[in-house]
A and B are shown apart, each in its own frame.
Chain A
Amino acid sequence: MSIVADAERFADGPAEYFGHSWYAMQHVAADELAALQFAALRRRFAELRNAIPALTLLADEAGVDTLDELNDVVPLLFPHSVYKSYPSALLVRNRFADLTRWLDRLTTFDLTGVDVSGCTGIDSWLDTLEAHTPLRTFHSSGTTGTLSFLPRSMHEWDQMGQAFRCGLFQYSDPLGAGGRHDGEWFELIWPLWRSGRSAITYFPGLALPHLLGSEDRLHALRPGRMSSDAAYFAGRVRAAAARGELGKLEISPALRARREEFEREQREMTESIPRFINEQIEKLKGRRIWMLATWNVLYNMSKAGLDAGLEKVFAADSLVTTGGGAKGQVVPDDWEEVVQRFIGVDHVQHSYVMSEITALNKQCEQGRYHFEPWIIPFVLDPDDGAPFSREGEHTGRMAVFDLIAATYWGGFISGDEVTLSFEGCACGRTTAHAAREIERYSDKRGDDKITCVAAEDAHRAALEFLTGEFV
């Protein structure tokens, strides 16, 4: 049964399994990959079914003990909101023992012995968990006023970092002829905090051993760690302001004391970005850099650079990676061209990113997002959640199973509408691929339906208004 042994190596260390070649990852024969994915999925399910209490509950209720085909796992995928299914009062009132018990249901690690009684905030809670377990929990950005917590461990972060490295030579070495690219590193220009527990601020730490090689190549706007308490606080203030409930916001005295500090830091950071970029240009011109940011950050920076007469500032084998959609703004047609001219590269690497999974699903020459082989994609009927067949092309709700996840459940259902094809792509890659247009279901509204019920959109609009004011 070599497939079982293969599946084990594949899921536990995809980078190693594919010889650290992205080309290899993306060119496995489709039926072979399906067999590999299915064997790996069965193994994950067997390991985790009774090891993660929230999964056990779901599997018991669904009466699922074994999987006979890939789609059998669909009833067991977690709604993405599982990772924020705790009452926010627990966080607001610093009830970390309760929160630990909540998180314990989502991981294989036993958290019952961890003493969190002395924790005074999110930072100290996660510090404590990290001191006693291999958990390296990350959270969402918190801009809507709530935080999702996903209990990823050192194992998954490490595998993710290794696998990340493989795809980053997409343009400089399209056929994967350069092997592991040993000794090649990027200079990361990072216009944020050096570290933190939000998915995005985790990034430099993740990249350092695998992509940068040395702290000297990590050029962060701000040293030190972004406070999760600050991020949560800022999000709650904004959400409350959007609802006109600022006066009713429950703020612990500890947080109240630090409020001014948070606000000052935020202000300073925003103000220092132009100077930071200028310093990086001065310091790194002609070097091989890497930037990973949303389009607006890249565009604004590049536009300012071009206006100042700067062009082709960095080495031609530099990399610019982006994802995350339009961010509710009008995207200029020429934005990529502007970025390419300023940085001095031929391409911008687009990717479909979800913080819940360990892959950067990169866009190919045909404009399709290719899923990394350790991610099993599913397309679900948007109304009843039933999976579409794994042939042809379907439009529906995106769901995934991340096979790297060994200590938490890798299956979850997103809020995105995608058009996904299981057929071969004209680019030659064999993995499933999604069309460029990806929309959030929550952003789709009934066409000109009017009701007297106050819906989320009012709050979202108010939130965008306030956010716009802060930026």
Chain B
Amino acid sequence: MIPTLTALTAPAFVRGELITEDLVRFGGRGAVETFQTPNPQKLLGALPLFDPSSLRDLHEIPFEEIVAFLAAVGEALVLQRNAHLQEALELSAQFSDMTAPLVRSSFEQLPALFTPDAVRELADATIGIRYLQGWVPRTMGDGRTASIRAFGARAVHIIAGNSPLIAALSIIRNAIARSDAIIKTPSNDPLTALAIARTMGELDPAHPITRHLSVAYWKGGDTAFEEQLFQPAAVEKIIAWGGFASVTHVVRYVQPGLELVSLDPKRSATIIGREAFASPEALNEVARRTATDVGALNQLGCINARVVYVACGTDPDGIERANRLGEAIYTELQRLPEQLSTRAKWFDPELKADIDALRASPEWYRVFGGREGEGAVIVSQLDEPVEFARRLSGRVANIVPIDDPADAMREMNAYTQTVGIYPESLKSTLRETLPLHGAQRLVSLGYAAHPSVALPQDAIEPVRRMVKWIVDERCEPDVVQPLWASTTREEAERR
């Protein structure tokens, strides 16, 4: 391969130490997406934590020290004064699916995740700070006292790269869980996790939180490497984000002693009630909120809206209402502020071809926009999504008119994550049945892409599964009937 001057270099960070040697080249064709990173094989000696007692240092620090250290990290992650983030932003054009304004605004959100309030809320809502501080006693019905504590574990995080916040969230979760993390970066974000780790290393390279964080790249599915890393002797958990291939290829390593926490690939939907057409103001409001759910962070997330069910009716008047709303959503999409949404960096040519094909059938589909890669709204003129609904990206929504909001249920399945709903009253009705069909998160329209990281995710509580729940049971023979003195049947009958 011809070396290019622009090739991006992503060093590895192993337990406080920056590794820049033994670079090998990875990635796609041409300069774009090509980057070099330390040979993962050479890291194998240092990456896994074979001695489990090495986690002791993390368990000896008070919870408040974790909070304080993360707070210091957050203060150092202010983009204007953090050289690593600045460099990542500058190089983002070479790897990120996002455009520069979106990478910038994502980076600007990082410090808020690390504040003491945010960290405490995350810890308390996901695990309970008491369980992270020490042993929490509980008296059981048979008289024994159980003390429960959340212990850290040795984990590999295979993170997604569609948002830089995923790297930050993984690092914070690892810290509060007093765990050891090896973060495997994706090729679409090799630098954010690294920038945070380097920032930590500069603050305190010997801090237990820094010492229990590693960031490296290897090609997902590189079995020669992964077979040596994913051993129960060194890794107890794999936290795998999204991407069908990334989840399926780690499944082979799962065995007793090595658990997989899978944050499955998902898609989201929207259900809009008839109330949207109550007044011109309501219509505009709904259009703006829907455009936000569709366009936020360029529709790169699983949380973004794609297919939008509108209970406008399927008679000609209803279809006309759907068309009006579709046009309004398209207009609002173009008005979204630059820090929230821009023209897509790459507009899928297959998708563009499919949209163009629909223009040949104006009786069945109304298409607003989509010619220049600026985003599009496709309004189905029947109560059915487009055939390529599962490939909508680059700020493309499909409006599907239905008669009753409940009709949207048939399109929900195990892949459904967020459902944005308007109005609130409709959400109260639908929430009893939507989860049965697969929906996992119901949210007010306009807030789909604005989640709280302290809440359950993908219908599981991943942080609870990242820790090990350890019990210490205290049983006094005069309170808890001893097994060695268990009564014979005769004795029992005599009683």
Q: Using CB atoms and an 8 Å cutoff, list the residues of chain A in contact with chain B.
A: 54, 57-58, 61, 78-82, 84-90, 101-102, 105-106, 146, 243-245, 248, 382-385, 397, 413, 415, 441-442, 445-459, 461
A452/B360 in contact, CB under 8 A: no
Q: Would A451 and B97 be within 8 Å (CB), given that A446-B188, A457-B245, A458-B265 are in contact?
A: yes
B300/A453 in contact, CB under 8 A: yes
Told that A446-B187, A455-B244, A458-B265 touch, could you supply 13 new A-B pairs with CB distance under 8 A? A54-B360, A90-B382, A105-B361, A382-B349, A413-B353, A447-B28, A449-B161, A449-B187, A450-B243, A450-B246, A454-B390, A454-B415, A461-B244
- B40: shortest Cβ distance to chain A, in Å? 12
Which residues B299-332 have CB closer than 8 A to chain A?
Answer: 300-302, 304
Which residues from chain A contact B384 at a C-beta distance below 8 Å?
Answer: 87-89
**Bound CA span A80–B362, Å:** 17
**Bound CA span A385–B356, Å:** 12
The yes or no answer to B413 lying at the interface (CB within 8 A) is yes
- B264: shortest Cβ distance to chain A, in Å? 7
- B72: shortest Cβ distance to chain A, in Å? 29
**Bound CA span A248–B263, Å:** 25
B220/A448 in contact, CB under 8 A: yes
Q: Would A102 and B363 be within 8 Å (CB), given that A383-B349, A441-B350, A452-B160 are in contact?
A: yes
Contacting A455 at CB < 8 Å: which of B265, B304, B365, B413? B265
B349/A89 in contact, CB under 8 A: no
**Bound CA span A106–B346, Å:** 31
Contacting B350 at CB < 8 Å: which of A88, A106, A442, A457? A442
Q: Which residue of B lies closest to A415 (CB)?
A: B350
Q: Would A85 and B353 be within 8 Å (CB), given that A452-B265, A458-B265 are in contact?
A: no
A106, A245, A461 — most chain B CB neighbours (10 Å): A245
The yes or no answer to B219 lying at the interface (CB within 8 A) is yes
The 6 closest A-B pairs by CB, nearest first: A452-B242, A79-B353, A454-B265, A450-B186, A81-B357, A451-B162
The yes or no answer to B248 lying at the interface (CB within 8 A) is yes
Which residues from chain A contact B75 at a C-beta distance below 8 Å?
Answer: none
Chain B 373-385: CB-based contact to A (< 8 A → 1; otherwise 0): 0000000111110
- A193: shortest Cβ distance to chain B, in Å? 26
The yes or no answer to B358 lying at the interface (CB within 8 A) is yes
Which residues from chain A contact B159 at a C-beta distance below 8 Å?
Answer: 450
Which residues from chain B contact A61 at a C-beta distance below 8 Å?
Answer: 359
B244/A78 in contact, CB under 8 A: no
**Bound CA span A361–B413, Å:** 43
**Bound CA span A106–B365, Å:** 16
- B344: shortest Cβ distance to chain A, in Å? 12
**Listed A/B pairs (11) with beta-carbon separation below 8 Å:** A84-B387, A248-B410, A447-B219, A450-B186, A450-B243, A452-B160, A452-B263, A453-B266, A454-B415, A455-B390, A458-B265
B360/A450 in contact, CB under 8 A: no
Q: Which residue of A lies closest to B263 (CB)?
A: A452
The yes or no answer to B471 lying at the interface (CB within 8 A) is no
**Bound CA span A58–B358, Å:** 11
Q: Would A447 and B354 be within 8 Å (CB), given that A452-B301, A453-B242 are in contact?
A: no
**Bound CA span A461–B247, Å:** 13
Q: Using CB atoms and an 8 Å cutoff, list the residues of chain B in contact with chain A.
A: 26-28, 33, 97, 158-162, 166, 186-188, 219-221, 241-246, 248, 263-267, 300-302, 304, 346, 349-350, 352-354, 356-365, 380-384, 387-388, 390-391, 393, 410, 413-415
B414/A450 in contact, CB under 8 A: no
**Bound CA span A82–B221, Å:** 37
A86/B364 in contact, CB under 8 A: yes
Contacting B27 at CB < 8 Å: which of A413, A447, A453? A447
**Bound CA span A118–B352, Å:** 37
A451/B161 in contact, CB under 8 A: yes
- B368: shortest Cβ distance to chain A, in Å? 15
**Bound CA span A397–B221, Å:** 28
**Bound CA span A458–B302, Å:** 14
- B490: shortest Cβ distance to chain A, in Å? 56
Q: Which residue of B lies closest to A248 (CB)?
A: B410
B387/A454 in contact, CB under 8 A: no
Which residues from chain A contact B380 at a C-beta distance below 8 Å?
Answer: 87
- A389: shortest Cβ distance to chain B, in Å? 20
**Bound CA span A447–B245, Å:** 11
Which residues from chain A contact B363 at a C-beta distance below 8 Å?
Answer: 101-102
**Bound CA span A106–B357, Å:** 12
- B422: shortest Cβ distance to chain A, in Å? 23
**Bound CA span A57–B360, Å:** 7
Which residues from chain A contact B413 at a C-beta distance below 8 Å?
Answer: 243-245
B357/A449 in contact, CB under 8 A: no
Which residues from chain A contact B263 at a C-beta distance below 8 Å?
Answer: 452
- A64: shortest Cβ distance to chain B, in Å? 15
Q: Which residue of B lies closest to A245 (CB)?
A: B413
B364/A81 in contact, CB under 8 A: no
Contacting B364 at CB < 8 Å: which of A54, A102, A106, A383? A102
A78, A102, A458 — most chain B CB neighbours (10 Å): A458
**Bound CA span A383–B301, Å:** 22
**Bound CA span A296–B162, Å:** 39
**Bound CA span A244–B304, Å:** 22
B161/A79 in contact, CB under 8 A: no
- B57: shortest Cβ distance to chain A, in Å? 31
**Bound CA span A450–B246, Å:** 7
Q: Which residue of A lies closest to B409 (CB)?
A: A248
B354/A81 in contact, CB under 8 A: yes
**Bound CA span A303–B130, Å:** 67
Which residues from chain A contact B187 at a C-beta distance below 8 Å?
Answer: 446-449
Q: Would A456 and B248 be within 8 Å (CB), given that A243-B413, A385-B349 are in contact?
A: no
A456/B391 in contact, CB under 8 A: yes
B243/A451 in contact, CB under 8 A: yes
Q: Would A450 and B161 be within 8 Å (CB), given that A86-B364, A88-B384, A101-B363 are in contact?
A: yes
**Bound CA span A54–B356, Å:** 11
A57/B359 in contact, CB under 8 A: yes
**Bound CA span A143–B301, Å:** 29
Q: Would A448 and B219 be within 8 Å (CB), given that A89-B384, A461-B248 are in contact?
A: yes
A85/B358 in contact, CB under 8 A: yes
B360/A397 in contact, CB under 8 A: no
**Bound CA span A78–B97, Å:** 29
A397/B349 in contact, CB under 8 A: yes
Q: Which residue of A lies closest to B33 (CB)?
A: A447
Which residues from chain B contact A397 at a C-beta distance below 8 Å?
Answer: 349
Q: Would A146 and B390 be within 8 Å (CB), given that A445-B245, A448-B186 are in contact?
A: no
B410/A451 in contact, CB under 8 A: no
A453/B267 in contact, CB under 8 A: yes
B350/A452 in contact, CB under 8 A: no
Contacting A85 at CB < 8 Å: which of B97, B244, B246, B361? B361
Q: Would A451 and B220 be within 8 Å (CB), given that A245-B413, A457-B245 are in contact?
A: no
A79/B248 in contact, CB under 8 A: no
Which residues from chain B contact A447 at a C-beta distance below 8 Å?
Answer: 26-28, 33, 187, 219
B264/A454 in contact, CB under 8 A: yes
- B323: shortest Cβ distance to chain A, in Å? 15
B302/A79 in contact, CB under 8 A: no
**Bound CA span A127–B187, Å:** 53
Q: Would A452 and B266 be within 8 Å (CB), given that A86-B361, A445-B245 are in contact?
A: yes
**Bound CA span A455–B348, Å:** 13
B265/A441 in contact, CB under 8 A: no
B302/A449 in contact, CB under 8 A: no
B160/A451 in contact, CB under 8 A: yes
A58, A397, A446, A457 — most chain B CB neighbours (10 Å): A446
**Bound CA span A244–B219, Å:** 30
**Bound CA span A396–B160, Å:** 29
Contacting A58 at CB < 8 Å: which of B349, B360, B393? B360
Which residues from chain B contact A441 at a C-beta distance below 8 Å?
Answer: 349-350
A81, A89, A384, A456 — most chain B CB neighbours (10 Å): A81
- A378: shortest Cβ distance to chain B, in Å? 14
Which residues from chain B contact A442 at a C-beta distance below 8 Å?
Answer: 350
A453/B353 in contact, CB under 8 A: no
A78/B28 in contact, CB under 8 A: no
**Bound CA span A81–B352, Å:** 11
